[in-house]
Structure 1
Amino acid sequence: MRYRLLGPVEVRSPGGAPLALGTPMRVRLLAILMAQPGAAWSIDQLVDELWQGRPPKTAAGNVKTYIWALRRVLHSAGAPDPAIRAGATGYRLVLDAQALDSAAFDDLTQRGYHALRQDRCSDALRAFESALALWRGEPFAGLPGCGVLLSVRTRLQEQRSSLLEEVADLQLRIGRHNELIEPLRTQIDGDPLRERPWGQLMVALARAGRRADALTTYRKLHRLLADEVGVEPGPDLQHLHTRILRADRELLTSGTRPVEKSAPRVVPRQLPAPPTLFTGRTRELAQLTTLLLGDAGPAGTVVVTGTGGVGKTWLALRWAHDNLRHFPDGQLHVDLGGFGSSAQEASPSAVVVRSLLPALGVKPLEIPAEPAAQFALYRSLTADRRLLVLLDNARDAEQVRPLLPGSARCAVLVTSRHTLPGLVAAEGAHPVALDLPSTAEARQLLVRRLGAQRAAAQPAAVDELISRTARLPLALAIVAARAAARPTFPLQGIADDLAASRGGLAALVTDDAATDLRTVLSWSYRLLSPAAARLFRQLSLHPAADISGAAAASLGGAPPHLIRPALDELTRANLLAEQSPNRFHCHDLLRAYGKELTDAHDSAADREAARKRVLDHYLRVTRDAARRVDAGWQPVDPLPVPLDASSPTFADHRAALAWFGTEQRVLLATVDDAAAHGFDTHAGQLAQALTPLLSRLSQWHDLAAVQATAVTVAQRRGHPLVEALAHRDLALAHIQLRRFRAAHHHLRRSMTRCDQVGDRSGQASAHLHLAWLFDTEGDPRAALSHARQALTLASSIDDRRGMAAALNGLGWGHARLDEYERGIAYCERALVLYEEAEDRLGAAHTWDSLGFAHHGLGAHPTAADCYRRALALYAEAEDPCGRADTLVRLGDTHQAVGDHDTSVDLWRQALAILDRVGHPQAMVLSERLAAYR
């Protein structure tokens, strides 16, 4: 069976005959399933997509009839199994990888880009042309452009336009300029504001000997842009115009790539600051330029390899900053942590979700749930850009391969202590081996830090320092910092002290015995005061390389004002870097050295006590932040120790969220580190406190990871109550990620553990989550059943907040079933309880439910009043998503009474909020607004 959507929707039997799919509504339903193959659609979701908010009363039955008819047609045509399958979460279309033409298009496109990365231009061109040959017209041709069909159509059309431009570039490179002229004109007629095809047409005309026509084409584009959008052509086209005026011989020669793409809307600038002490490496910098900036423009992957501390990252950053102009679409940077001292290396999925996709403008709720889809989205977003991607500190090829962008015009710079032969062999990466700098370059580094006069006065001592540090850049930097901090010390004395010192860093010595980094580090360590030395050792026990002054104080077991001098001393000695005020970073090599020292000099009890102190700190502060963000949140277990004077406190939820934004990655690492070192109670309690914070920021992937760890440690502790809570919060993440089957599993486990210990509050909470899950899946009757059980359980223990939430759930459920008066009665009871508890957010939810019910009764003035009350409470609670939902429904009420202008204004306010938080409903609301323009 072949399913085709790149044109009119059709299905062909194994014999090649098109199937008679039936009515237009059946075709549209099949198109919706084809738009997202494998995704489950509930009846309610299909109703919304098919009728766009205006369904007939028989809509649900009609959908089932359409499904039955389509399955019968597909099965009769020879499909061995029904392609449309029904499950607990809805209907889904299950296809083989190549059965759908859009999937084949994506596969061929990626093959082409893969070939292009390896400079196999002819193979790339064949793959691209085969992908374009699959198109038979506009995607879903003849079907209304709204909902998921519109979003998928827009995405596919953008991919096709980008691919046509890539093909035109390849054809220009092989001299097919005459053949390109008319196709490019046709392409421009279809999308006249897309600048790149105009530039390609100018080049094709110029190479065909028609310079006058090429210049006329530029003037035509100039007038068009001025008239339509009031701007001039971009700098790339302006430069191209100048080159044509000057009859640039290089431009008029086939085999060059003169036309560049316009800069994307989001331009990431993630590179860290350039290394201030960098000197020399002229040959290696030139080699990188040759490999990454060839005649055809930015392209390719380079792996810089070498021993630890040799300066791989410095070289990569120096080259990157020197060549920013070649990457107008931005620079991405990730430390992959492949050779960190404590934590495991970053997984490719975590890198894409937490760093790369957000940097490219993807909002949290827009990130797909599955890693394969995350990588595909990353490749799509980089497919038409000129980016520099710096992947620092990679462990192996498998960690890097999924992070290669989807464009041969991107440059990828990887640093690693391994040679990554798999990346070189399979992906065509170019290795650059970084050896020790020359003696002249090492002297240049020291002279730059010490000053020419001091170095010239003691040349023999400078030579000995270079010899004793084995020219290793990190060692040279530490020695230079030590000497510069003590300007009156004779350099020979420093060299003598270095020669006499022997320390310990066995895991990080180089192959050459002369390059003993341990000597340098142990010497620097021995010059520290006892307090700074102790803190340096303890910093290796911290779960992450970054640490705040407050956390360092807890780690060291002293007030912040007593720890600060030690932090300053470590910073002056280059054993710590203050990246921002009162926030510090310790290099992995130094953390490894500190770990050796603490293992050798501190007792196991001292190390455990230090770990416990910093875990106590993070738990105290995170719990305080959680309460600021969600006043109703309560921990299961009591806090081990109360807040102390060194812990930051928060005036309101804004301050709490600002702190969390800085510490989020550290806190996630802390949960894992606590679990790894046997602090299971801390790991579980910290995971509980992270739930309201991660939820408010819609960080569902991180919430899922944290709660999975919480489940593990709770099971290890044999603590069923904590395990129940972890399963419940893990289900919350899965519901938001639309992993409904997993959500059902974890809610059942949560219920089982609550039953085991007789926790009625936990049982009620699990039932409320099940009610939400079933309502989201489109089964309000099942949702009502669970809301009733939640009410019974909460009432039995006089849990007023739980009773209020259950009553509101019942009210909403009855209103969803058109039983509006019953719904109102339940909601009014809920409102009384919420107002008694002074729970603004709960009251806001209930007023919204009342508005929905009154709207259903046709009591539009009353509904509008309820909605306005909800909006006022959402504003007090500062819940943007709740406010947006209510604005939409208030707009619906105004629309129902014919007040179109007010409804459109309210929808626009809601859209602004949804866009800001990256909510998936923003697209749906945007399409609704487009219908009223």
Structure 2
Amino acid sequence: MLAIPSRRIGEEPEPEKALRFSLLGPVSAWRAEEELPLGPRQQRLILAALLAAAGRTVSVTELVDLLWEGDPPASAVNSIHRYVGALRRLLEPGLPARSSGQWLVRQAGRYLLRVDAGGLDLLSFRDLVGQARVATAGGDLSAAVDRYLEALGLWQGRCAEDLGAVVAMHPAFTTVDREYIQAVSEAATAALGCGRAGAVLPFVREAADRCPLDETLQASLGLVLAADGKQAEAIMRFRDFRTRLVDELGVEPGPEMRAAQERVLRGSPVSRTAVSVISAAPVPRPLDRAPLIVPAQLPPDLPCFTGREQALEQARAAMHRAGDGLRILAIDGLPGVGKTALAVHFAHRAAKEFPDGQLYMDLAGFASGTEPMAADDVLYGFLEALGVDKNQIPASREARSALFRSVLSGRRMLVVLDNASDVDQVRPLLPGTIECMVVVTSRSPLIGLAAAHGAWLLGLDVPSAATAAECFLRRISATHLDADPSAVEEIVARCGRLPLALAIVAARAVSRPEQPLTRLAAELAAAQGGLDGFNDFDGANDLRGVFSWSCRRISAEAKRVFCLLPQIRTADFTTAALAGPAGISWEAAATAAGELVGARLLEVRGHDRYSVHSLIRAYAAELDGWRETGRTFALRRLQGHDRHSESYAA
């Protein structure tokens, strides 16, 4: 099964309570053989949005925009909650009031519908398309056609087509529809390569009728018709398309359509290579364009990069994802978790897929002593790297962004945007062509990129203890060949498995080759959970500085709650546990928790369950947010909270 864009989807529902959902056509839900009544249109829209997310969380804001199209009533949020409650009770009859159940859950103010390939036709479709691509790569085109036909047969119409005009324009649904079009094009390519054009012809006809001005689809249809013995119809289709293009757009057909038409008119056999070019390159690269400077701006790959196999698999899935849109992978995670290392490592491995070059920029969204880079400055640097004369680079951000998209048109280029502050910083830097891919890293989940551009969101957590130990050992292998396993285990634990902390401690170990690791472990233990053992030699990666830039992005109330985290003694805790020591309402604590989660100072562990990394907890303890008087007040509040925590949480 293809990886789902966001992996934090909790435990799977029990098999005996499993439901089936359909999105590829009219929206429907089934329990065994019973179709469920999904209620009013707005309630069905919410369900459709959750299904289209396919395992990703969806914010209340996104749902409000979908239901009221930018003009919500004052009661919009309450209405969303009511619709969600009704859906929960529909999916799980007898569910207690105010309980989220096991299917539709809330995580940090966002909603998630737990689905897998066995319960949602969209995920089954993606799974089968993935199998087809594997078969194509292995040269078994007939098997690939079989998988494509099975995948395309799951579609009973356009995505959520029974919900009206809003879904025809909303990116959550149009992105899914584009996956169908892409799969049809790939199926045509495979079928023409193995002599099975007739098998895919109905799907190619339907897709071409959906997209009457899509030159790639129309060219594919003509070739499939001719290969199936319908040359006259193919020629008629070519002529009709030219007429439509001239009448509606005032332009002549492009090179791929002319090449396909000439091949059919001459009765030439259709080669697999020719069709692959038409299917995979809808924006041909002009032959008379001046040679492009090929930038190779990626930083060096980390020589001791270890683990992250699942994250790399998701990154590869994002790179090969079907659809007409720009491929965007947005990696988020807590400070020091290794987002940049993963992005750079993946980019080096993927570079061969982007022969026109790789662009890289540190956007300084969370950096010490500097403001985030302005998008127009980044664009200036990119355009220079691409060979644009300085005097031809326009002054305004909008013009530079447009020129950037023009220069990259038809190019296969990888753009890595590291350490982004927010979506607004990234948006002007996006290419406009499907041949390119963008990899973005940020501490905050870039939800807006997923909503507007279909970005694949990848949340990065700390590695396992075994992977962290392996990473540490690889860093110190040159100086500590006989490392004490127990000392390594203690060091990894003291570092909280955080890659940046491990790197700092490993560098200290390498600088002291004569000292055993047991002494280093003792130094970390002597710090008693503080950050004194994690000072970088030059201060560039000092943990305090790295954490501080997340704190600068949160409100005073959220920072006050953050400073009280060391007073919570449990490994994970609820919103009520935050509210009690801070002396604030549950609602105010929930708002503060949302800010802290967005800044990656808190981690979501389930419905209304949070945790904090041990080193971030240590940083909170060092802040000036709670002095002696504040500490005494907090402890008194906490003691009262501990006595009543169960009833308070309930």
Q: TM-score, normalised by structure 1?
A: 0.32
Determine which structure has more spread, i.e. the larger CA radius of gyration: 1
Q: TM-score, normalised by structure 2?
A: 0.44
Structure with more helix by fraction = 1
